[in-house]
Homo-oligomer: A and B are copies of this chain.
Amino acid sequence: MYGVILAGGSGTRFWPVSREQHPKQLQKIIGTGTMIQNTVQRLLPLISIEKLRIGTHKQQATETIRQLESFGFLPDHLLAEPCSRNTALIIGLMAKIISDVDPDSVMAVFPADHVVTNNEKFIKILQKAETMAKKGYLVTLGISPTRPETGFGYIKQGSKTKEDKSIFQVEHFVEKPDLSKATEYLKSKAYFWNCGVFIWKTSVILEELQQHAENIYSQLENLKSCLQRSGKKLNHFELDGKGSKIFSALPSLSIDFAVMEKSSKVVFIPADIGWNDVGSWHALDEVCEKDKKGNILKGNVLAHDCNDSIVYGQDRLIATLGLKNTVVVDTQDALLVCAKDRAQDVKKLVEELNKKGCTEVKTPATVKKPWGSYTILDSGNNFLLKRIEVCPGESLSLQSHNHRSEHWTIAKGSAKVELNEDTFNLEVNDSIIIPLNAKHRLGNPGSEVLIIFEIQFGDQLDENDIFRHEDLYGRD
């Protein structure tokens, strides 16, 4: 069985930890790894890393690959989407790619940023689902509701299937209900949450797309022919210019809407697997351990007389006093303090911040790059101070600046610096000046992370003043 992880979410409800450029699935919210690392880990007992495919936004491609390196995930199993087009299109394209290689294949689809606490049961259910999928069904999992949730779609239970008494027909799918309907569904016990996990034969989902979403289906062959390797180095797949145009022009449909609600082949397996979509900070209450007073505390926190609160910090000291049902989320450049019962509305808050042009919505303090990351530590009228981290074996582009000179000092690891015609090997405590207009490149030839401090001087100090002469990652 192939696994396709959909990692295109933005997770705005997890702001300020989750940012447009570094969303929820790439963050450590709970457990030992990031959400996507935990998702991969969860699947490995059933699906080998070679059979995992990932679809994500191109902005997240390199960071996703980096996070999955230690699992042996192959970069060319990642497909970078040029823009967000919901699930139907990327599922179709993935099915097409897999099916062309392995026409009889079964493929399972998983969101990248959910939690399952009973993994053993999850795996067993997936095995059962695989069996049903092989018989031509579109299989999905149904979660027994524990609250009148208005944020999910529901599945109305139908009769038992003839093949397996624990697997059911779907009477119909229900879009997100209002509170009174959701309350009714909860009481009736005949409704289940649709958790976004699907198992089917690639050939079957393609047939169904052809039947119910012809506009998408008809472009899959075409899109596939537009796939190319990215850059010189990363080798994930992306669409070329023509493919990106086609992709962008296609409708943004969920697979639920495009196929599941319309197909007669859908069955579902009730799955009591400790599933949680971790949809907002409030959800941590359901998936994290609490102290005696019901608090979830992470980071450098002293909570005095606080109850049922969530404090999610980093290195900065956070002291809280007398809080009840309050959420505090602290990051280097942005802080959220929120009533717990308003955690869903963080999405609205982020929209408001976006309208005001707050860059803290899009960019995290530490900006991920194909070669590593940088963090702005200080800035003034004509200067800017950055901490730059370069991953082992990586290098920045060969570049020059028209508006600034730079002072580099090596703080950790070793650096290979190309400067005009010369090359320098620098170690900790070495420094070098990059004059205005000089052609230069910073690389990390070592096996540990390279850290340098860069002090820029000039009349324009931003990411626009980079002229790239050569780039490993195919950037202009």
Complex contact B319–A333 (CB within 8 A)? no
The 0/1 profile, CB within 8 Å of B marked 1, for residues 307-351 of chain A is: 000010100111111111010101001111111011001101100
Specify how many copies of this chain sit in the oligomer: 2
A407 CA to B409 CA in the complex, in Å?
A: 8
A402 within 8 Å of B by Cβ?
no
Contact of A383 among B346, B383, B411 (CB under 8 A): B411
A51 within 8 Å of B by Cβ?
no
Closest to A381 in B: B412
| Residues of chain B lying within 8 A (CB to CB) of residue A345 | 304-305, 321-322
Complex contact A383–B360 (CB within 8 A)? no
A387 within 8 Å of B by Cβ?
yes
Closest to A320 in B: B337
Contact of A334 among B311, B316, B336 (CB under 8 A): B316
Complex contact A320–B334 (CB within 8 A)? no
A72 within 8 Å of B by Cβ?
no
| Residues of chain B lying within 8 A (CB to CB) of residue A412 | 380-383
Closest to A303 in B: B337
Complex contact A411–B380 (CB within 8 A)? yes
| Residues of chain B lying within 8 A (CB to CB) of residue A318 | 334-337
- Report if A326-B337 is in contact (Cβ < 8 Å); known contacts: A349-B304, A383-B411: yes
A431 within 8 Å of B by Cβ?
yes
The size of the chain A interface, using a CB distance under 8 A, is: 58
Complex contact B304–A321 (CB within 8 A)? no
A39 within 8 Å of B by Cβ?
no
Q: How far is the CB of A437 from chain B (nearest CB, A)?
A: 14
A433 CA to B407 CA in the complex, in Å?
A: 12
A6 CA to B424 CA in the complex, in Å?
A: 59
A323 CA to B380 CA in the complex, in Å?
A: 34
Complex contact A316–B335 (CB within 8 A)? yes
A407 CA to B382 CA in the complex, in Å?
A: 19
Complex contact B323–A337 (CB within 8 A)? yes
Q: Which of A80-88, A176-184, A217-225, A449-457 contacts B (4 or more CB under 8 A)?
A: A449-457
Contact of A336 among B319, B324, B326 (CB under 8 A): B319
- Report if A342-B305 is in contact (Cβ < 8 Å); known contacts: A317-B335, A330-B335, A334-B316: yes
Known pairs A302-B356, A328-B335 / 17 extra A-B pairs, C-beta < 8 Å: A15-B319, A302-B353, A304-B348, A316-B333, A317-B360, A318-B336, A319-B337, A320-B336, A320-B337, A321-B336, A321-B345, A321-B346, A322-B339, A322-B342, A337-B337, A383-B412, A409-B455
Can you list 9 pairs linking A and B with CB atoms under 8 Å apart?
A317-B353, A321-B339, A326-B326, A328-B337, A378-B387, A380-B412, A382-B428, A405-B429, A407-B429
